[in-house]
A and B are shown apart, each in its own frame.
Chain A
Amino acid sequence: MANVVAAYCLLRRSSRKLFDGRQNLNFFGSIRFVNSGLTYNFTRTRELSRQDVCYSDQIVSKHICFLRASGNGVLTSFPRGEGSGFQIHCRYLASMASTPVRNKSFSTVNSDDIIYFKKILGEKGVVEEEEKLDDANTDWLRKYKGSSKLMLQPRSTQEVSQILHYCNSRCLAVVPQGGNTGLVGGSIPVFDEVIINLRSMNNILSFDKVSGILVCEAGCILENLISFLDNEGFIMPLDLGAKGSCQIGGNVSTNAGGLRLIRYGSLHGSVLGLEAVLANGTVLDMLGTLRKDNTGYDLKHLFIGSEGSLGIVTKVSILTPPKLSSVNLAFLACKDYTSCQKLLSAAKTKLGEILSAFEFLDINAMDLVLKHLDGLRDPLPSSKHNFYILIETTGSTESHDKEKLEAFLLQSIESGLLTDGVLAQDINQASAFWRIREGIPEALMKAGAVYKYDLSLPPEKMYDLVEEMRGCLGATNG
């Protein structure tokens, strides 16, 4: 009982907007639990802010120390009944001795369902072949594998709505899937949920050259959007290593940060509107294209970062910044983590408006990348450094930016913040530096089994986590 109260209080606290009667969201009227002997916790997968931790510690049972076990709690919504309420089945994917058990109240897919889906989506939209399902069932890190027998590929919002309405009525569990590049197992089914993959919804709907507002479907691959915008003289406000496969719908649903967060902010600021389909098939059209729109409650923010638990995002309207011609990249070396932090504040002050990326990696990461990936060489081969920093500046005037960057770097070396560094002289060298940073997940995968957790921590505590984990695991594992 205490857990039900906990769930209710936490949901209530974290999203007051959910209970707004005006929006006719009757499915939030009742929240029920299925108690199958496990202890549940609610936490947004990415952010373990101090407030949430304290609050939950008070209410939720003490032996779920989710910070220390650094596990993931994932909220998945399974529709139930005709809008009479929906259940939240919570699973806890940590290394605790509790395996999730399939909820018996969810049905299994039968041949009638397949016939119905084929009627809506056509033959091509319904995938039952083992091979293709294998890929869709396994996550990018090859750590988790679901056992879904059916994947659907709708081509329009209407089809998504029909599918979800049907699944709701039949009580079939679903999992929305985009590029399947997530590193924490959130995009694959746990058991045999129907996979709804949005890769066929990859049209760019409109682009306004004056304001830079792009409207596209959720299945557009990020790299394709970047190339399209490149022709128009704009760029996407987010950039990640997975851009070749990740889809914008997934990025929005997971509130992806990426390399340019420091310059363009998070998706909460860049996404101007979206269209989503709720669990019972209702289409919520929040696809505004205005920079400022204060009419009604701004529900889109709930969907950004909700990881598909509130609805499937089908269209996105995003504000894109103009492409600036002068890009400079410096690969630097520091001796300890305190210098890295000081360098960050110095960079923000001295480089100011032209700073567009600031990434750091430590020597173990660097060694792994150089060992496992081909065609990369150490930009600073003369000696081993403890920490490496990548600073990127983007601006409109080459000479002004270069001068500013060189002055800043000279000052940093003189004050002892930096021990060494190189400046990329052309785009090829810049790509090589970025490849080192973006290749870390790939190198980790080749190095062996990986436990990957996406944690947000205050900058001053970031490296403490690494040192503590090293202490727990032993120095050799690094």
Chain B
Amino acid sequence: MGHLGWTDLWCVLIRPPNKASRLCTETASMRIMVAIKRVIDYAVKIRVKPDKSGVETSNVKMSMNPFCEIALEEALRIKESGRASEVVAVSVGPAQCVDTLRTGLAMGADRAIHVEFPGTLYPLSIAKILKALVDAEKPGLLLLGKQAIDDDCNQTGQMIAGLLKWPQGTFASKVVLDEENKVATVDREVDGGLETLCLDLPAVITTDLRLNQPRYASLPNIMKAKSKVIKKLTPQDLNIEIRSDLEVVQVTDPPKRKAGVILSSVDELIDKLKNEARVL
């Protein structure tokens, strides 16, 4: 073993002692973008329009999609743990989306972007718009709800990951970012159980129900939200042409459940199984 001269010792001491502190300055600038959607409130009884063209949305309570709430809550928790510096909420839709964005700001998002478009929007258009926003804002992480409760498409997250060529962790029930913010470990809820993935950041994560319980919007935060900025854009500003490749032909109620029948004897049961249900 050689001698460690004074010069060698000196070099050792000069090396930055704390790995994390150097990287903190890098990670602190990570921005999280959360896409949220304004939908009919989960607890409202849905009515189909008489002309079967869609669902009644006028005079009906609208609120933030529950999965988007969970995504926003996760973003806020990541920011509160020091791994992100800013949470940006974005929404695409008609003018009233501003209300939903205000809720997001009241929960704790720092600023919001509203891309105004009054017509029907499908996941691919949303994905294209989000891609344009991601290119402009350059977040390190994009969080979305796994699906919207009005159309149940479950496509936007996957599509945008494809467009951005980013890795995706969908149906996340646990998200852990490592210290250097380079890798996200995501537990996914799949049919067979739980699957754990490691994703390199930047990545797209879509959230499932058991990820967290969203916080309530407290009054002090609601007051602060009034002064936060909501940037308004249109699809034209982003050079996106909204073109729908799908057309909704008809929306109908599911058939009403038929009442059960109480039978009086085993013979009657056998008869029904044979002749009506035809399973015997």
8 A Cβ contacts from B214-239 to A: 216-220, 222-223
Inter-subunit contact A325/B219 (CB<8 Å)? no
In the complex, which residues of chain B have a beta carbon less than 8 angstroms from the beta carbon of A325? 59-61
Inter-subunit contact A421/B213 (CB<8 Å)? no
Within 8 Å of chain B (Cβ to Cβ): is A424? yes
Inter-subunit contact A425/B42 (CB<8 Å)? no
In the complex, which residues of chain B have a beta carbon less than 8 angstroms from the beta carbon of A423? 106, 216-217, 219, 222
Inter-subunit contact A427/B218 (CB<8 Å)? no
Within 8 Å of chain A (Cβ to Cβ): is B257? no
Within 8 Å of chain A (Cβ to Cβ): is B44? yes
**One of A11-19, A240-248, A405-413 contacting the partner:** A405-413
Q: Would A427 and B222 be within 8 Å (CB), given that A377-B213, A379-B216 are in contact?
A: no
The one of A327, A377, A420 that contacts B219, using a Cβ cutoff of 8 Å: A420
Within 8 Å of chain B (Cβ to Cβ): is A294? no
Interface 1/0 per residue, A419-453 and B, CB below 8 Å: 01111111111010000000000000000000000
Q: How far is the CA of A321 from the CA of B244 in the complex (A)?
A: 43
Q: How far is the CA of A410 from the CA of B220 in the complex (A)?
A: 8
Q: Is the interface of B mostly helix, strand, loop or mixed?
A: mixed
Inter-subunit contact A422/B213 (CB<8 Å)? no
Q: Would A428 and B219 be within 8 Å (CB), given that A325-B60, A377-B213 are in contact?
A: no
Within 8 Å of chain A (Cβ to Cβ): is B63? yes
Inter-subunit contact B219/A422 (CB<8 Å)? yes
Inter-subunit contact B213/A428 (CB<8 Å)? no
Q: Would A422 and B216 be within 8 Å (CB), given that A325-B59, A410-B223 are in contact?
A: yes
Within 8 Å of chain A (Cβ to Cβ): is B110? no
Within 8 Å of chain B (Cβ to Cβ): is A230? yes
Q: How far is the CA of A424 from the CA of B219 in the complex (A)?
A: 10
In the complex, which residues of chain B have a beta carbon less than 8 angstroms from the beta carbon of A379? 216
Inter-subunit contact A426/B64 (CB<8 Å)? yes
Within 8 Å of chain A (Cβ to Cβ): is B43? yes
Q: Would A426 and B41 be within 8 Å (CB), given that A325-B59, A325-B60, A325-B61 are in contact?
A: yes
Residue of A at shortest CB range from B103? Answer: A425
Residue of B at shortest CB range from A413? Answer: B219
Q: Would A427 and B42 be within 8 Å (CB), given that A325-B60, A325-B61, A410-B223 are in contact?
A: yes
Chain B CB within 10 Å, residue with most, of A326, A379, A399, A425: A425
Residue of A at shortest CB range from B59? Answer: A325
Residue of B at shortest CB range from A231? Answer: B45
Inter-subunit contact B43/A431 (CB<8 Å)? yes
Chain A CB within 10 Å, residue with most, of B103, B216, B217: B216
In the complex, which residues of chain A have a beta carbon less than 8 angstroms from the beta carbon of B218? 380, 420-422
Inter-subunit contact B43/A428 (CB<8 Å)? yes
Q: How far is the CA of A330 from the CA of B60 in the complex (A)?
A: 20
In the complex, which residues of chain A have a beta carbon less than 8 angstroms from the beta carbon of B103? 425
In the complex, which residues of chain B have a beta carbon less than 8 angstroms from the beta carbon of A424? 216
In the complex, which residues of chain A have a beta carbon less than 8 angstroms from the beta carbon of B59? 325
- State how many angstroms separate the Cβ of B202 from the closest Cβ of chain A: 29
Q: How far is the CA of A257 from the CA of B97 in the complex (A)?
A: 39
Inter-subunit contact B60/A425 (CB<8 Å)? no
The one of B61, B99, B217, B220 that contacts A427, using a Cβ cutoff of 8 Å: B61
8 A Cβ contacts from B22-48 to A: 41-45
The one of A410, A429, A431 that contacts B216, using a Cβ cutoff of 8 Å: A429
Q: How far is the CA of A420 from the CA of B187 in the complex (A)?
A: 36
- State how many angstroms separate the Cβ of B107 from the closest Cβ of chain A: 8
8 A Cβ contacts from B199-213 to A: 213
Q: How far is the CA of A410 from the CA of B216 in the complex (A)?
A: 17
In the complex, which residues of chain A have a beta carbon less than 8 angstroms from the beta carbon of B61? 325-327, 398, 426-427
Inter-subunit contact A428/B42 (CB<8 Å)? yes
Q: How far is the CA of A132 from the CA of B247 in the complex (A)?
A: 57
The one of B41, B42, B213, B222 that contacts A406, using a Cβ cutoff of 8 Å: B222
Inter-subunit contact B223/A230 (CB<8 Å)? no
Q: How far is the CA of A426 from the CA of B100 in the complex (A)?
A: 10
In the complex, which residues of chain B have a beta carbon less than 8 angstroms from the beta carbon of A427? 41-44, 61, 63
Q: Would A425 and B43 be within 8 Å (CB), given that A325-B59, A325-B61, A410-B223 are in contact?
A: no
- State how many angstroms separate the Cβ of B55 from the closest Cβ of chain A: 16
The one of A331, A422, A426 that contacts B63, using a Cβ cutoff of 8 Å: A426
Inter-subunit contact B45/A230 (CB<8 Å)? yes
Interface 1/0 per residue, A160-185 and B, CB below 8 Å: 00000000000000000000000000
In the complex, which residues of chain B have a beta carbon less than 8 angstroms from the beta carbon of A406? 222-223
Residue of B at shortest CB range from A421? Answer: B219
In the complex, which residues of chain B have a beta carbon less than 8 angstroms from the beta carbon of A327? 61
Inter-subunit contact A426/B223 (CB<8 Å)? no
Q: How far is the CA of A332 from the CA of B213 in the complex (A)?
A: 20
Residue of B at shortest CB range from A330? Answer: B219
- State how many angstroms separate the Cβ of B149 from the closest Cβ of chain A: 11
Q: Would A425 and B217 be within 8 Å (CB), given that A325-B59, A431-B43 are in contact?
A: yes
- State how many angstroms separate the Cβ of B277 from the closest Cβ of chain A: 31
In the complex, which residues of chain A have a beta carbon less than 8 angstroms from the beta carbon of B44? 427
- State how many angstroms separate the Cβ of A91 from the closest Cβ of chain B: 44
Q: How far is the CA of A426 from the CA of B106 in the complex (A)?
A: 13
8 A Cβ contacts from B72-111 to A: 99, 103, 106
8 A Cβ contacts from B103-148 to A: 103, 106
In the complex, which residues of chain A have a beta carbon less than 8 angstroms from the beta carbon of B106? 423, 425
Inter-subunit contact A426/B42 (CB<8 Å)? yes
8 A Cβ contacts from A307-348 to B: 325-327, 330-332
In the complex, which residues of chain A have a beta carbon less than 8 angstroms from the beta carbon of B222? 406, 423
Interface 1/0 per residue, A351-377 and B, CB below 8 Å: 000000000000000000000000001
Q: How far is the CA of A237 from the CA of B230 in the complex (A)?
A: 40
In the complex, which residues of chain A have a beta carbon less than 8 angstroms from the beta carbon of B63? 425-427
Inter-subunit contact B219/A425 (CB<8 Å)? no
Q: How far is the CA of A418 from the CA of B220 in the complex (A)?
A: 11
In the complex, which residues of chain B have a beta carbon less than 8 angstroms from the beta carbon of A399? 99
- State how many angstroms separate the Cβ of B40 from the closest Cβ of chain A: 10
Chain B CB within 10 Å, residue with most, of A380, A399, A418, A427: A427
In the complex, which residues of chain A have a beta carbon less than 8 angstroms from the beta carbon of B219? 330, 332, 409-410, 413, 418, 420-423
In the complex, which residues of chain A have a beta carbon less than 8 angstroms from the beta carbon of B41? 426-428
Chain A interface residues (CB < 8 Å from chain B): 230, 325-327, 330-332, 377, 379-380, 398-399, 406, 409-410, 413, 418, 420-429, 431
20 contacts between A and B (CB under 8 A): A325-B61, A327-B61, A332-B219, A398-B99, A406-B223, A413-B223, A418-B219, A420-B219, A422-B218, A423-B106, A423-B219, A425-B63, A425-B64, A425-B103, A425-B216, A426-B43, A426-B61, A426-B63, A426-B64, A428-B43
Q: Given A427-B42, A431-B43, 13 other A-B contacts at CB below 8 A?
A: A326-B61, A327-B61, A331-B216, A398-B61, A406-B222, A406-B223, A409-B219, A413-B219, A413-B220, A423-B106, A423-B216, A427-B43, A429-B216
* Shortest Cβ-Cβ A-B pairs, 5 listed: A427-B43, A426-B63, A422-B216, A421-B219, A427-B41
